[in-house]
Amino acid sequence: VNSIKRGVDETRRPRRTGYVLALAWIVIGSVLYAVELLRLAVG
Amino acid sequence: LAELLGHVALGATTLLAWLGLGSVVLLRGPRVGDARLDFLNRVGVGALTFVLLTFAAGWARLLYPAAYLPLFAVSALIGAVELARSARGRPRPRIDWPRWQLALLALLALYVLIDLISVSAPISSPDAVLYHIADPNLFEKAHRIFEVPWNSSSYEPFSVEMLVLDGMLLWNPVQGAFAPLLLALVALAAVMGFTQRIAGWSGAVLAGAIFFAQPFMVWEATSTFIESGIALAMALSAWNLFRFVRYSERSGLVLAGAFAGGAAGMKYVGLIAALALAAVAVAVLAKRLNLRLALGFAVPAIAVALPWYVKNAVLTGNPFYPHVFGGLNASAARELRDSMRSFGHGHGPLDFLLLPVRLLADAKAFDGGQYLSPLFLIFAPAALLSRRARTAVLFTWAGVLLFIIAWFLTTQQARFLVPVMPALAVLAALGVLELIRQGGLTRGLVIAVTAGALAAGLGASTVYASQFVPVVVGSESTQQFLREKVSNYDGVEWLDERLGPRDKLATDLWTLFYLDMPHITFGTMGDLLPVDAGPAATRAFVARYGVTKIAILDGDAARRRQVGYLRAHLIARVSVRSVRSRTRGHFGPRHDLLVYDVGRRG
């Protein structure tokens, strides 16, 4: 009720946080894999 | 090339035979309502039936082509009829797919070609020449299955090796090596088939590409490893369990149990995977669970897996030999434990937390982990964002994590993650689709990362497969290929030229498949003759196994000391070298293979 009074849809917040975390993990994971690829290329 | 085509034709016929025999077994047995899963169930049950028949025939001393080929031919004929019947009522597939889906399908087709070339080369994988191919080859030559006490790995459940043996009865060892690839292809069909049911064709091609289009799977499916079989068994088990949970089909529960048992009959790691799946089943069914349902899953599971554990109990007194309840001598047990724990970066809590990072950036320590697709790890967590399927995703993740914890605590070899790859591929595909729906920057990033990883994987896979092209197309001789790809092959050639059927060789070489004379080793871990054994034990070993010749590497100080306990004289020094990387052509330093005569047999 307080959320509605404040005009905030709190149910959406964890979902948005989830997407931000997922995006961050994609970036981190890609950089980490790039390191592995570099190792492979160098041999 | 004619040989390659022959192998491919017989590989396709083998799939028909699995379908045919499975159709017969399931004629009055459990069937599920999903036609696609039912089709794959019949292929899977057919493969498991061939396993059990070969196992039984082996102990009955009936491993002859004359016994196998009629069953194979009739099964393949029934399979062809079943295939035609299945195809008849099916609408023609639409071809108005988006271009990216067609590109992924083309990529999968390219990977099948890469796999076919790689698997058609002469056997050169170290594990295959030690036992995955070497042991079935011994069984095929002796027309029976027998205990192989010098190789502790031969006490692992050996279902896939039975299918390898079938390929040998059909033609030759290379045909045998096709079995794991066929299992991987059926696993691919299961991954795509299931994902199509829950997420459409876009999810199916994505999951298929994540699962199959990776250099790691090329290596896995074409080196006579067995984990692709566990992946198939787990994929079918999970899909059948899904049918039971969602549609209350009891047949699904029974078949889920049968395939979980199939996984447990392929290697001990398959037993761990089956137990993880059973734990998930218990959690999912929760209030619905009763004794009847539990038995509906457990009885077929135990029935399918049991022969392997009974075999070990009879031969060694320990159904789980050599891993649980002991049985190895002290030094062999120590070496086995050390070797299992030698993979990965560590076994502490911090190491577990760092696992995702290390699997992505520093995975060589996981034995070939650098060839794993990063897409599993990068996108599978994003499946948790799906609202529609969150509960199912959570349960799937719980099962995967349970297995990974067991993997982390036992032996951290990347190959042993293959059993959870079907589940992770589905999760990763769901994650990709969920993120792509967001559009904008997210969509672009997801597409770029996926395409980049698939492109890098294709590059690595092409480099790997290219080493096999010359020998497969006939521009390189088999002997030359083996000298470059198989460790110490020069020594094996020397022994094959000079020793015959009246000799009995004891050796510390692991290239056993190519030894033509009767042979034995001191044990993979010194199981038969510990490295610290003294004169009496050494002489007893030689007398017990009728050893007439010994061939050991000059760097093996323990064995050289033991040869000193015998009245043996050195008859040759053969220069040999180990292969450190087949793909890169890296060799170890040259060593001498010391060959000793220890007198007349008996």
A8: burial class by Cβ within 10 Å (0-12, 13-18, 19+)? exposed
When pLDDT is averaged across residues B504-509 and rounded to a whole number, the result is: 94
pLDDT, position A6: 52
| Cα–Cα distance measured from residue B143 to residue B140, given in angstroms and rounded to the nearest whole number | 5
3-state helix, strand, coil in chain A (%, to 5): 90, 0, 10
Phi and psi torsions of B407, nearest 5°: -60, -45
pLDDT for the residue numbered B601: 46
Which candidate, B406, B15, B401, places its Cα nearest to that of B184?
B15
Lowest-pLDDT range, B224-238, B349-363, B449-463, B518-532?
B518-532
Span B28-38, average pLDDT: 90
Structure tokens at B136: 């079935």
pLDDT value of position B82: 95
Per-residue pLDDT tens over the stretch B198-221: 999 999 999 999 999 999 999 999
- Helix, strand, or coil here: B520? strand
- Cα–Cα distances in Å, from B165 out to B6, B145, B313, B496? 18, 10, 23, 23
B303-322 pLDDT, tens per residue?
999 999 999 999 999 999 89
pLDDT by residue (tens digit) across B335-355? 888 888 899 999 999 999 999
Cβ atoms of B418 and B188 within 8 Å: the answer is no
What single letter denotes the amino acid at residue B2?
A
Reply yes or no on whether the pLDDT at B413 is more than 70.
Answer: yes
Q: By CB neighbour count within 10 A (0-12 exposed, 13-18 middle, 19+ buried), where does A15 fall?
A: exposed
Show which of residues 371-390 on chain B sit within 8 Å of chain A, judged by CB atoms. Answer: 374, 377-379, 381-382, 384-385, 387
Share of chain B above pLDDT 70, in %: 99
pLDDT band for position B30 (50/70/90)? Answer: confident
Average confidence (pLDDT) over B389-402: 95
Does the beta-carbon distance from B378 to A15 stay under 8 Å? no
pLDDT tier at B506 (50, 70, 90 boundaries)? very high
What CA–CA distance (Å, rounded) separates B211 from B375?
9
pLDDT for the residue numbered A40: 86
Instruction: For residue B590, list its beta bridge partners.
Output: B577
Rounded Cα distance between A8 and B471, Å, is: 68
> From CA B360, how far away is CA B374, in angstroms rounded?
6
The Cα-based distances of B307 to B55, B304, B310, B314 in angstroms read 9, 7, 5, 10
B374/A36 Cβ within 8 A: yes
* Per-residue confidence band for B225, with pLDDT thresholds at 50, 70 and 90: very high
Is the pLDDT score of A13 beyond 80?
Answer: no
- pLDDT tens-digit readout, B439-462: 888 999 999 999 999 999 999 999
Confidence of residue A31 (pLDDT cuts 50, 70, 90): very high
How many whole angstroms separate alpha carbon B56 and alpha carbon B50? 10
Residue B459's pLDDT is what? 96
For residue B586, list its beta bridge partners. Answer: B581
pLDDT surpasses 50 at B385: yes
pLDDT of residue B224: 96
Kindly list the residues from chain A whose CB atom is less than 8 angstroms away from the CB atom of residue B356: 29
Contact B385 A18 (CB under 8 A): yes
A18 reaches B (C-beta below 8 A): yes
- Position A1 scores a pLDDT of 45
Mutating which of B366, B378, B447, B458 best tests the A interface, going by the most A Cβ atoms within 10 A? Answer: B378
Q: How far is CA B478 from CA B41, B173, B473, B499, B579, in A?
A: 38, 14, 11, 21, 16
With a pLDDT cut of 90, the percent of chain B lying above it is: 88
What mean pLDDT value characterizes chain B? 94
Of B378, B381, B438, the CB nearest to A30: B378
For chain B, say whether A25 makes contact (Cβ under 8 Å).
Answer: yes
Residue B481: band (very low, low, confident or very high) from pLDDT cuts 50, 70, 90: very high
Contact predicate B522/B512, CB 8 Å: no
Q: How far is B238 from chain A (nearest CA, A)?
A: 26
| Of B425, B442, B387, B356, the residue nearest A19 (C-alpha) | B442
What is the C-alpha to C-alpha distance for residues B177 and B196, in angstroms, rounded to an integer? 30
The pLDDT tens digits of the residues spanning B103-133 come to 999 999 999 999 999 999 999 999 999 999 9
**What stretches of B438-534 show up as alpha helix (H) in DSSP?**
440-466, 469-473, 478-485, 489-498
